[in-house]
Amino acid sequence: MKNINILDSNTIDKIAAGEVVERPSAVVKELVENSIDANADAVTIEIKDGGISFIRITDNGEGIDRSQVKKAFMRHATSKIKSVEDLISVTSLGFRGEALSSISAVGKVEFLTKTKTDFIGTRYVVEGGRECVFEDAGIPDGTTIIVRDLFFNVPARKKFLKSPSSEGNNITELIEHMILSHPNISFKYIYNGNVKLQSSGKNDIKSCIYNVYGRDIANGLIEVKSIRDDISIHGFIGKPELARATRNFEIYFVNNRFIKSTLIDRALEEAYKDYLMLHKYPTVFLYFEIPSHLIDVNVHPTKREIRFFEGEALKCYIVDVIKNALINKELIKEIVEEHHEKPSVKESEINKEPFETINHIIESSYNNYYSSEIEKEDESTDINDKNEQLTLFDDKFISEESIKKHRTIGQLFNTYWLIEFENKLFIVDQHAAHEKVNYERLIKKLRNNENCSQNIYPPIVVSLSNAEAQYVTKYNDNFLNVGFTIEHFGGLDYTISTVPMELLSQNPADYFHEMLDELMEGKNSKETETVNLKIATMACKASVKGNMHLSVFEADKLISELLTLENPYNCPHGRPTIISFSKYEIEKMFKRIVN
Ligand code: ADP
Ligand code: MG
């Protein structure tokens, strides 16, 4: 193992300062990071009562040499950096040398460790900063740390903790991110005596995603892989159907460290902009490899944030990679019969875990030893291959060649067009298709500064509410940009004398109020382009509400035009325009295929 040094004051001053252990999840984070830094490939995390009464981390890593164990618990003791210069190139997860000292100051810590070269291991007990025991321990290679009664000697801190279940949830989320950030490590997470999460350590990101987030998410992913200059991006991005109401599923790692970055969030959201409804956020699992000279990890005490030195370039790169992945993939939501459940871990598997029995022994007496190896758990939850295949869209439904081979069957419920192509039934929502096609045409003209409007004669008179009238006055220029000429006619009456060309077939009186309602509901923006786009979106949405009768010929034309768009899969609000059923699924529903 490497030597542990005490950092000099100059280096200490340069390290982002702040509290490392304010709650149980922070303790778990520091300790699991230590296991990872010690090159462990199997790590078990066990907690009870949200980590407040009990935390155990066991790894099969390098361990600490007997002669260095006490040193590791001193403040600013670390084997990971020696001087300020090392901060620039640091690749380990930890480097502040504070976790063990801070944790043992506020909890009852029992530390068991053995290196390969040590003949016998060491057991060290420190409670509230007081050394209690230092002795031999017959243990396997690696390290176990147990933290009991966190903040037992700092009641003010203890009061500050949330409920055990809420603290436990934070830990669970942390472990989920750990599993994803290190797919090469086999993790086992035991929560109040039950195995809650487990990963194989076989370096298969998709199976990690499956284990943590389940089948629906694992099946809705598109793989991305790209290298530009010295930076690489790989991983999986979710199809638009996996969109969420929060940013919690914008999950990414920089050099295997889970971080949050507004720069990356913004890049992701920009790339998905045309695919998602307002206030919806994408699901992604992305891994960035960035050379250490382009980032600074020393900006946040728990290293949750990092600084990018060439942020704008990185942002553009991310947008490019994701947009390309979304464009090149058919994003038609496929309906797959639901009947597979996420496999749950059996109670009996817990008993196989060697340290469970050890805990038991340690709980009852400090002087018992154990010897047993942590074994890599066998992957018990591989992805179901057949379902996997079903969600891959190999058929190129939208290519020019295939459009000729589409067979339009007819219209259903005055709204949906049924199309047969190869081994699939596609269903196109006529309203969503119309809205999308109109919107794209309108936006194209707006972007090219072309004239968007068409006169209507005689002008239509609409009576507005006070709020509507105010809105129309305030954004009159924007309405004009998009193609609506609206003029005051007396009182609360206004005339509409031109409308966007795309909406000519509709009577503006039928959709104008609804459009204004929707517009006023959203956030007000001052930016001209944002307001224009909003007006265009709402206008297209509101104008296609009525049941429009289309002939088969007109429907074919509409659908063909839809399929030429860069993103034909979602209406401007992110609703899908096309869904599909495979022949296989249909035959399965009719029990022609049984399995
Ligand atoms: P840091 O991780 O910032 O170096 P810590 O206080 O977390 O500081 O740990 C101090 C030192 O103890 C580490 O630098 C490492 O050498 C050693 N150490 C801690 N945990 C482990 C572990 N699980 N396995 C091996 N060595 C460890
Ligand atoms: Mg550490």
Is residue 76 scored above 60 in pLDDT?
A: yes
- The helix (run of H) or strand (run of E) holding residue 301 is none
Is residue 554 scored above 70 in pLDDT?
A: yes
Strands 194-198 and 295-296: unpaired
Nearest CA to ligand 1 atom 7: 99
Closest ligand 1 atom to residue 102 Cα is: 6
78 lines ligand 1 (CB under 6 A): yes
Is residue 361 scored above 70 in pLDDT?
A: no
Instruction: Quote the mean pLDDT of the chain.
Output: 83
100 lines ligand 1 (CB under 6 A): yes
Ligand 1 centroid to 79 CA: how many Å? 7
pLDDT at position 372 is 32
Ligand 2 centroid to 315 CA: how many Å? 30
Is residue 233 scored above 90 in pLDDT?
A: yes
Between residues 542 and 122, the one the model is more confident about? 122
pLDDT at position 299 is 78
Q: Which residue among 36, 79, 118 has the greatest number of ligand 1 atoms within 8 angstroms of its CB, and so is best to mutate?
A: 79
From residue 422, give the alpha-carbon distance in Å to each of 74, 460, 569.
Answer: 69, 48, 19
Instruction: Mention every residue, 6+ apart, whose C-beta is less than 8 A from residue 413.
Output: none
Instruction: Please give the full DSSP string across 517-565, using - where no structure is assigned.
Output: HHHHHS-----HHHHHHHHHHHHHHHHT-S-----HHHHHHHHHHHHHS
Nearest CA to ligand 1 atom 12: 72
Is residue 385 scored above 60 in pLDDT?
A: no
Is residue 532 scored above 90 in pLDDT?
A: no
Q: How confident is the model at residue 34 (pLDDT cuts 50, 70, 90)?
A: very high
Select the highest-mean-pLDDT range: 254-263, 432-441, 554-563.
254-263
Amino acid making up residue 379: E
Q: Which among 270, 323, 225 has a CA at the least distance from the CA of 567?
A: 323
35 lines ligand 1 (CB under 6 A): yes
Computed from CA positions of residues 148, 151, 155, 158, in that sequence, does the dihedral angle turn out positive or negative?
A: negative
27 lines ligand 1 (CB under 6 A): no
pLDDT, mean of residues 11-30: 80
Closest ligand 1 atom to residue 61 Cα is: 24
Q: At what angle do helices 528-543 and 430-447 cross, to 10 degrees?
A: 150
